Structure 1
Amino acid sequence: MPALDELGGPAGLKALSPDAARRLAEDIRRSLVDTVTRTGGHLGPNLGVVELSIALHRVFDSPRDRILWDTGHQTYVHKILTGRAAGFDALRQAGGLSGYPSRQESEHDVIENSHASTVLSWADGLARAHRLRGVTDHVVAVIGDGALTGGMAWEALNNIGAARDRPVIVVLNDNTRSYAPTVGALAGHLAALRGPEPPRALFEQLGLAYLGPVDGHDIAALEEALHGAAALRRPVVLHCVTEKGRGHAPAEQDEADRFHAVRARTASGASGASGGRSPSWTSVFGEALAELGETRPDIVAITAAMLEPTGLGTFAGRYPDRTVDVGIAEQHAVTAAAGLAFGGLHPVVALYATFLNRAFDQLLLDTALHRAAVTFVLDRAGVTGDDGPSHHGMWDLSLLQLVPRLRVAAPRDAATLRRALGEAVSVHDGPTAVRFPKGSTGADVPAVESVGGVDVLRRGERADVLLVSVGAMAHACADAAERLTGQGLGVTVVDPRWVKPVPPAVVELGLRHRLVVTVEDGGRAGGAGQAIAQAISDAGAPTPVHTLGLPQDFLEHGTRAEVLARCGLTGEGIARAVTELPHPGGPMAVPARGRRS
């Protein structure tokens, strides 16, 4: 993007004539299609905000004026306009440009958390700080109509509208969609505002001024409206109507998600996501749930605006009356599920693991306290990769350990995922959770035997090391066992499948070994490994237990394999860690007799 690199940031943008600004929009749109289809990333949302991003930076003086973005995957154009065009060749790659705002990248970026519905609370807090400190710079918050279905957005509006001395400009980017079409009463109200005889805007009744709707692809009209909003010096909503995927015919014609996100192309031009070798975890879950729905008419599927991404499309196609989309409202989804359970149904709440964080209180007190028979299916658990820190699902096992009466399954492959889902929806006296990672399932890992419901994947010749593999770490643990056996150690590998509560058989097996090592793709603090260590300690065993997992930190983006390798969670890394671990007799040294070359 050489011409874009020569802009010199927002200052150069302001110097462009209106015609030059329109040509710039065309250049950016072409560049986005070219680069994002090669690297992978969120294409549709960014194609929809090209003109809006240009207008914002021509009217306001970032970073002095704070432009805040909700659900930061729509900030690619903002990044280009603030001097980062050259970085798009390495978008979402390790060491390259983040797919979300990043304070490390630029002083123009503010909110790094890419979860929806948060920006208005940020804006309210920042505006309060400005008033208290006597700062007159503008606070501009860009939020989509889909994100407005989240309850936190309305908590913020309740505060923003009540204080005329804290001017906040809310730019409502209305493209009638989140990932999929926006649902609920709010969608109907916005549609009415776009109509020929609009009603009084709900925002006005909450104390905010309302401007619009304005064509979100007309830079001149946007600039005029933004100047008008800024001149009011009071809380105001500027309603901009945009089109997701604008200017890219395949996206415009895609009624499913308008090319919300695209995968990176391989050298041959094909998507490199699955490689055609094995199905994705998501698709296996979706098919299994649809099959269960045939014999279990009480099963109801709940999504928070993520029907297809969480694999519920097949179930919804067969049982539309038993599929509920609550919008971007995870808290409501979980408590509504408790209500469904009380009403005699068995809800299956399908979420990305990172988004369950948002509904922890509802899981704890509305669901578990009430022994509600709700099954949570947590997609993209553990390391997700290129979406970066806010999307890693590495917190779930730590958080779920805190919840009484909750049973948690971590399947290792497609076969055990189907099995775990069937077992989970058969539980009637409390909540269950089934978690699995992003990507393809890989080959099934068969058990050589079962001990008290715990799968033994490999039986060692001697009881030197018990490797407890949690979920999708089975392949890495099997590799580590091979390496350690080659060094003369006896290694048994087990998979509990259900990691909460800790199966008694894991404790019994642990007591028979010199050393127990747990391996999980979640944070070590409070995870499955610590629960196993506590259970063995409570049994009065002298057996040392060491937990391997992710460091308790915000891990940078990269492929799942790259992040796991950085954290030592490969076969080689696990084997190396085992040989270096301390235990009562010193490091886990190879026995003198039985050593293998």
Structure 2
Amino acid sequence: MNNILSKINTPEDLYNLSYKEMDVLSSEIREYLIDVVSKTGGHLASNLGVVELTIALEYAFNLERDKIIWDVGHQAYIHKILTGRKDKMYSIRQLGGISGFPKREESKYDIFDTGHSSTSISAAIGVARARDLNKYNYNVVSVIGDGALTGGMAFEALNDIGKTKTKVIVVLNDNEMSISKNVGGLSTHLSIVRSRTRYLTTKKDLESFLEKAPIIGKYIRKFLHTIKEGIKKMIIPSMLFEEIGFTYLGPIDGHDIEDLVEVFENAKNIDGPVLIHVCTKKGKGYKYAEEKPNNYHGVSPFDIETGLPLKKSNAKSYSKVFGDKLCEIAKTNKKVVAISAAMIQGTGLDKFSKMYRDRVFDVGIAEQHAVTMAAGMAVNGVTPVVALYSSFLQRAYDQVVHDVATQNLHVVFAIDRAGIVGNDGETHQGVFDTGFLVQIPNMIVMAPCDNQELEDMLEFAVNKHKGPISLRYPRGNSNLMVPKSYKQIELGKGVMLKEGKDITIVAYGKMIEIAIQVSDILSSKNISNEIINLRFLKPLDMALVNKSLSKTKNLLIIEETSIDASISYKIKSLIDSDINMENIIIKSFPDKFIRHGNVNDIFDKYELNAQCISKEIENLIIKK
């Protein structure tokens, strides 16, 4: 490990460094971070962009007392390195290793668990108000990116804090805005001046004097205010924050540690809420990430020299299959539009956005708005396809129910990252959507097991169905081959993939692949089995299931969901009462948050692999 970095074990160790040494430390951290992420995968570009910002924050604030909350948290790798976890970085996002996000149980320096966007300001307000109620004295800082600031929850919090004047410092990390040398330098200088105690005291004394002066005082005050506002509007990008009650400082060069530290130190002395606008460059220090930061937002292990992934799959991802098929559908169906919440590339809509620029709507990090806007479009004869990750759809549950389902509107929900996503952990696992979708009246829920089913289900959802409908599919690629006896999609109809007599295996989506593996193992043990691909989680094809169970009397259900969000109990309750069942085995994830790790490692940990499942079935069948 590099010379200065090797000596940093707590934030207090930064106090021994000069600014020049902190600049050297920044370079060492970048080199170390690139090496770590090249081996583990993870969030690279965003972390490379906040190295100096993080050092300055943890130097200026006393983390033994002050509280820093990282919005989303994917950019907190440097924070972890500086707070005693640098030797654990090669375990980040791996099973049993440290999380890729802040975790309170992991370190006393992690104040609030994050993972989803736009929550940090609300959390900071809560921490600050608890501080004030307890009559404590420390600083509370929210670090939020310009993307996360587009989330409505962030604006709700800004409005609240500006109204009540609770002392919170919000650091806006703006990595989209470039600062020209003249305007940027001038605004940085003025922000430093405006945040100094002497300036603030003089300003307050002058205001007090003018208020007490005779009639002329108010005219002088009004004249000075007009001049001040005119100058500020020429050099400062936005007065929104001061209008709602913040002291606004910035924009500041987010890669100049000395300037950052001075502004942070001065901000401590300002009464009421402060917003510090910091500009950084995503991917800084690694040319490939600087040139194409979106490609290095979340990466798999890669070759540092070339920037290319170590493992390149030739198979199309589910996201790519979805995006390509939607482009094909849109050629003939001119009413189709695509809606994304700041995830155009992640959801596979990048090709669509280039082909149909006037028919794609990226609303920013605003899932609630995305869904209700889709409802408005559907009311007016447009067919919206809303592409969201499963874990982010949770944020718009009320809108799905209230604005779409109650009106029985034709809105298509393309739910990506359904099931276990792996390394991002609890906040991103898509194991709850089945539970809340199937309970909504009018909602149809489908789950494709391979690329062909995904294409056909999307075609069905857009062109053959009227009403709310969703299709959920996992991260990654499909390794499954479509059976020769493939049947077209029919509403509420499953398909029998294999016939047998000893046990019925029911699954859907990605778990069909495991069901087939289990089937092969059981067949090798002379246990005859049949496989049902449900296709539809709602409505269920219980006619097909009951027909099979009347023969086998044994049922195995395999799902990639939390047990309490599964459809297993629904199936169990709908089994014909005249069928004398011998065994019902339900295999899914337990009622707990599933931690980070490689997807296969997680499946092995919870014994949801073909070997473990088939062994359990074998013991039951043989014992009977």
Same fold (TM over 0.5): yes
**Partner in structure 1 of residue 267 of structure 2:** 229
**Partner in structure 2 of residue 588 of structure 1:** 621
- AA partner of residue 132 (structure 1): L
Q: Which of 519, 537, 540 in structure 2 is aligned with 1:502?
A: 540
Change (3 A) 1:380 1:274: farther
Aligned length: 565
In the TM superposition, what are the counterparts of 1:215-254 in structure 2 within 5 Å?
215-254=253-292
What CA distance in whole angstroms lies between the structure 2 residues aligned with 1:34 and 1:107?
26
What CA distance in whole angstroms lies between the structure 2 residues aligned with 1:449 and 1:51?
56
**Partner in structure 2 of residue 416 of structure 1:** 453
| 309-318 or 478-487: bigger deviation | 478-487
Change (3 A) 1:449 1:263: closer
**Partner in structure 1 of residue 210 of structure 2:** none
Do the aligned residues in 1 keep the contact of 2:499 with 2:529 (CA within 8 Å)? yes
| 509-518 or 226-235: bigger deviation | 509-518
What CA distance in whole angstroms lies between the structure 1 residues aligned with 2:118 and 2:400?
20
In the TM superposition, what are the counterparts of 1:32-431 in structure 2 within 5 Å?
32-164=33-165, 166-176=166-176, 196-198=234-236, 201-254=239-292, 257=294, 259-265=296-302, 271-276=309-314, 278-431=315-468
Quote the offset at 1:542 in angstroms: 4.4
Q: SS of 1:73's equivalent?
A: coil
**Partner in structure 1 of residue 222 of structure 2:** none
Per-residue CA deviations over 1:260-297 (Å, capped at 9, x if unaligned) read 12211379985245533x21111111111111111111
**Partner in structure 2 of residue 185 of structure 1:** none
What CA distance in whole angstroms lies between the structure 2 residues aligned with 1:403 and 1:524?
18
**Partner in structure 2 of residue 552 of structure 1:** 591
Q: SS of 1:412's equivalent?
A: coil
Quote the offset at 1:258 in angstroms: 5.9
Do the aligned residues in 1 keep the contact of 2:542 with 2:571 (CA within 8 Å)? no
What CA distance in whole angstroms lies between the structure 1 residues aligned with 2:231 and 2:623?
74
Do the aligned residues in 2 keep the contact of 1:193 with 1:213 (CA within 8 Å)? no
**Partner in structure 2 of residue 189 of structure 1:** none
Q: SS of 2:399's equivalent?
A: helix
Q: SS of 2:164's equivalent?
A: coil
What CA distance in whole angstroms lies between the structure 1 residues aligned with 2:554 and 2:337?
44
What CA distance in whole angstroms lies between the structure 2 residues aligned with 1:274 and 1:400?
34
Quote the offset at 1:198 in angstroms: 3.2
Quote the offset at 1:535 in angstroms: 2.5
Quote the offset at 1:247 in angstroms: 1.9
Q: Which of 515, 518, 522 in structure 2 is aligned with 1:484?
A: 522
Change (3 A) 1:372 1:478: same
Quote the offset at 1:579 in angstroms: 3.9
Q: SS of 2:163's equivalent?
A: coil
Q: SS of 1:536's equivalent?
A: coil
Q: Which of 614, 617, 624 in structure 2 is aligned with 1:575?
A: 614
Q: SS of 1:30's equivalent?
A: helix
- AA partner of residue 456 (structure 1): M
Do the aligned residues in 2 keep the contact of 1:71 with 1:117 (CA within 8 Å)? yes
- AA partner of residue 245 (structure 2): G
- AA partner of residue 453 (structure 1): K
Q: Which of 473, 476, 479 in structure 2 is aligned with 1:442?
A: 479
**Partner in structure 2 of residue 458 of structure 1:** 498
What CA distance in whole angstroms lies between the structure 2 residues aligned with 1:437 and 1:296?
26
What CA distance in whole angstroms lies between the structure 1 residues aligned with 2:442 and 2:367?
21
Unaligned runs of 5+ in 2: 178-229
What CA distance in whole angstroms lies between the structure 2 residues aligned with 1:478 and 1:414?
16
Do the aligned residues in 2 keep the contact of 1:123 with 1:139 (CA within 8 Å)? yes
| TM-score, L = length of structure 2 | 0.86
What CA distance in whole angstroms lies between the structure 1 residues aligned with 2:587 and 2:67?
41
What CA distance in whole angstroms lies between the structure 2 residues aligned with 1:113 and 1:90?
19
What CA distance in whole angstroms lies between the structure 2 residues aligned with 1:534 and 1:443?
30
Find out whether 1:473 has 2:511 as its counterpart: yes
Do the aligned residues in 2 keep the contact of 1:120 with 1:156 (CA within 8 Å)? yes
Per-residue CA deviations over 1:488-517 (Å, capped at 9, x if unaligned) read 322110101111111233343344231222
Quote the offset at 1:207 in angstroms: 1.3
Quote the offset at 1:35 in angstroms: 2.0
Do the aligned residues in 2 keep the contact of 1:194 with 1:213 (CA within 8 Å)? no
Do the aligned residues in 2 keep the contact of 1:331 with 1:359 (CA within 8 Å)? yes
- AA partner of residue 497 (structure 2): L
Larger Rg: 2
Structure ranking higher in helix proportion: 2
Change (3 A) 1:266 1:563: farther
Change (3 A) 1:478 1:488: same
